[in-house]
Amino acid sequence: MQIAFQGAAGAYSEAAALKAWPGSEPIACDRFEQVFSAVAEGRASHGILPVENSIGGSIHVNYDLLLQHELPIVAETELTVVHNLLALPGTKMSGIKRVFSHPQALAQCERYLHRLAGVEIVATYDTAGSARLIKEGHLADTAAIASARAAELFGLDILQAGIQDFSDNITRFILIAREPTPLGPPDKTSIAFALHNAPGALFKALSVFALRDIDMTKLESRPARGVPWEYVFYADLGAGRSDVRCSRALGHLEEFAQWVRTLGSYARALPLSRAGIVAEQ
């Protein structure tokens, strides 16, 4: 099982893949778009993508990419993320002038960063990649927010551990593939749909699930590309696509929606509090 992920070795996406699917072969990609390309072109059997964080919210670029590609979701997993402040060996906190990290990681450590007076906060493409930049550039006045594994891989010291604003900092990841075969018994379905702009349109759309007692675990709107002030809705449903209730609800939705697309039907991740998963350091 080859799993493409965005970032450098030591990234949280890599950690999530190895924790959920031990023995898999992670394949690093510079950008999320390249994760989709690696799967579509057969260079990887699967791709893992972060889609939501319990502090920072949704990673919108990956929702947009799901619509642009025909690669279904076949599984999901969760990872408790522990952020650490990393720097070159011997660096003191007083010598830090800049902090590098991915925008999501910066958002998850916002309160901590506000306390660093006079320090420039710089958004980068990746957490582990930020650690690599410091190592390769010999940046003695710069720190990175990344995992403890990234510190080990790139020979950096952990100046401070666990700097995220909340201890229950959980990221949800999805696994995509070329074929829609789920990796476990499906009990969750992700969809996207667009509605005609009319009074009560969203109420009608939500009612097709409420009337059938289907739990909607997520609902979010995103701007429709190329159509100003029109929106695409993303929803997660607490039922498999083959569940009669779910199939009938989606058929009902298709009767009045502009379009409906199933992004995947798969086994939901076991909540971390029940799964007994140890936080990634």
Give the domain CATH number at 36: 3.40.190.10
Which residue among the candidates 77, 80, 124, 171 is catalytic per the annotation?
A: 171
Catalytic residue among 32, 36, 154, 173: 173
Q: Could you tell me if residue 279 is inside a domain?
A: no
Same domain? 54 vs 173: yes
Report yes or no: 49 and 104 within 8 Å, Cβ to Cβ: no
| Residue 227: predicted pLDDT | 87
**Local structure of 74: helix, strand or coil:** strand
Pair (97, 157) in one structural domain: yes
pLDDT class of 50 with cuts at 50, 70, 90: very high
CATH code for the domain in which residue 260 is found: 3.30.70.260
Of residues 23, 26, 31, 25, the one with CA closest to residue 7: 31
The residue among 174, 225, 186 whose CA lies nearest residue 67 is 225
Please report the pLDDT score of residue 272 as a whole number: 60
pLDDT classification of 167: cutoffs 50, 70, 90: confident
Q: Any idea which of 196-200, 209-213, 262-266 has the lowest mean pLDDT?
A: 196-200
Residue 98 pairs in a beta bridge with: 120, 142
> Mean pLDDT for the chain?
92
Last residue of a domain, one of 122, 146, 180: 180
Sheet bearing 142-146, strands edge to edge: 120-123, 98-101, 142-146, 84-87, 157-161
Question: Does residue 123 have a pLDDT over 50?
Answer: yes
Is 171 among the catalytic positions? yes
CA 181 to chain centre: 21
* Domain membership flag for residue 280: no
Do residues 141 and 239 share a domain? Answer: no
Same domain, 151 and 113: yes
Residues 108 and 142 in one domain: yes
Domain that holds residue 151: 84-161
Last residue of a domain, one of 120, 148, 180: 180
Kind plus residue range of the DSSP H or E element containing 274: helix 272-275
- Reported pTM: 0.85
60 and 12 both lie in a single domain: yes
Tell me the C-alpha distance between 60 and 107, whole Å.
Answer: 14
Is 51 found in the same domain as 70? yes
Query: Same domain for 19 and 68?
Result: yes
Helix, strand, coil percentages, rounded to 5, for the chain: 30, 35, 35
Domain contains 273: no
Contact 9, 15 (CB under 8 A): no
CA distance 237 to 218: 7
Chain segment 6-31, per-residue pLDDT in tens? 988 889 999 999 999 999 999 999 89
Q: What is the mean pLDDT of residues 38-53?
A: 96
For tokens 């498999």, the residue is 240
Half-sphere exposure of 248 (CA within 13 A, CB side): 10
**Within-domain flag for 62:** yes
pLDDT tops 50 at residue 280: no
pLDDT, average across residues 60-73:
94
* Residue 274 placed within a domain: no
198 lies in a domain? Answer: yes
Would you state the pLDDT for residue 206?
96
Confidence of residue 239 (pLDDT cuts 50, 70, 90): very high
Confidence of residue 120 (pLDDT cuts 50, 70, 90): very high
Number of domains in the chain: 3
Look at residue 150 and tell me whether its pLDDT is greater than 90.
yes
Check residue 278 and give its pLDDT.
41
Same domain, 76 and 91: no
Active-site residue 173, yes or no? yes
Q: 146, 180, 214 — which closes off a domain?
A: 180
Mean pLDDT of 45-59: 92
Residues 42 and 176 in one domain: yes
* pLDDT tens by residue, 86-95: 999 999 999 9
Tell whether 8 and 53 lie within a shared domain: yes
Within-domain flag for 119: yes
Domain-embedded: residue 276: no
192 shares its domain with 222: yes
Q: What is the mean pLDDT of residues 169-181?
A: 94
Which residues on adjacent β-strands are paired with residue 172?
Answer: 52, 78
Q: Which tokens belong to 8?
A: 């450098």
Q: Amino acid identity of 72?
A: P
State the average pLDDT over residues 213-234: 93
70 class by beta-carbon count within 10 Å (0-12 exposed, 13-18 middle, 19+ buried): exposed
The stretch 131-151 carries a mean pLDDT of: 94
* Max CA separation in the chain (angstroms): 65
